[in-house]
Chain A
Amino acid sequence: MKTVGHILMILIAVLLVIGATYALSQTTAVSALVGQPMGVGASEEQSAPAGFANGQNNPGGAINGRPEGGREGGLETLGQNLLKIAVIVMAVQMVWSIGQRMRRAAERTNRWQWGRSG
């Protein structure tokens, strides 16, 4: 378990370092120092088929009215996906809760019938 903990710490650290390095590479100051355009592979990003929102299968077109590729900076899709997950969680919880109540009610009825017959 100790080893797993160490692996986990290293992985999280790697994740943070990757994120921080990329975030730094995006800043104007670092880009100016290195003498490169903003963003890693900025030219490739123009043609990058990115997108997970509805309509992402549209090659070379717009995704949800937004131009494909590049960086928009919005968290629209993330919010939508979070909402979808929240709806699923709520639906399952509701179904679960109704099921539990029905089961309890059935148990109560059974007990009452047993009491009457006994």
Chain B
Amino acid sequence: MKLSSTLRNLLVDATIFGGFLLATDPHATGQAIHEWLGIAFGATIIVHLLLHWKWIVNVVRRFFSRLPGQVRINSLLNSLLFIAVTLIIFSGVMISKVVLNTFGLSGSHDMIWRWLHVTATSAALVLVGLHVALHWKWVVSTVKRYTWQPVFGRRRQNEAQPALMSEQGGVR
């Protein structure tokens, strides 16, 4: 099965979004899942960046010359989000209990890492909201295209077909 690039992006983005939300609730997942999910989240972010690498390169090249306002805002927001996610993952690893323990290491007890982890997460929550908001049109149209239309479009087509057949029969 060959995935279209749009569907692949949608799947990756949905995975990242779901993973982020789950990772922000360690009470629901438990400490171990929270930490391993954070590591997997970091890996998926790298995939997300690779999938949009051409866009990143183009924006960086043209950032100080001609660039539409919305793209400029989008790129600034994405940069902030990248910094926030990097801080979350790095500080998370520093205060890790399960992941570091797996490798025979122990995390730091310094409260600054914990503060950084929590503050960066709060910032990332707002930034993710803005990121989703700026891509809302794409999200709605893609979800419609791959979930709504295959189900309801086909049903509508099936409903229309008998009517068309009877009309054709009437003409004959």
Verify B129–A88 contact, CB threshold 8 A: yes
Main secondary structure of the interface of B (DSSP, over half): helix
Verify B133–A22 contact, CB threshold 8 A: no
Let me know if B33 is at the binding interface, CB within 8 A: yes
Contact with A along B21-65 (1 / 0, CB 8 A): 110111111111110110010011001001100000000000000
Let me know if A29 is at the binding interface, CB within 8 A: no
Verify B33–A88 contact, CB threshold 8 A: no
Main secondary structure of the interface of A (DSSP, over half): helix
> Which residues from chain B contact A75 at a C-beta distance below 8 Å?
25, 28
Verify A78–B40 contact, CB threshold 8 A: no
Given A15-B44, A44-B98, A85-B125, A8-B8 contact (CB < 8 Å): yes
> Which residues from chain B contact A89 at a C-beta distance below 8 Å?
129, 132-133, 136
**Contact size range, B:** 35 or more
Verify A52–B25 contact, CB threshold 8 A: yes
Query: Which of A's residues lie within 8 Å of B, judged by CB?
Result: 1, 4-5, 7-8, 11-12, 14-15, 18-19, 22, 26, 39-41, 44-45, 48-53, 56-57, 59, 63, 66, 69, 71-78, 81-82, 84-89, 91-93
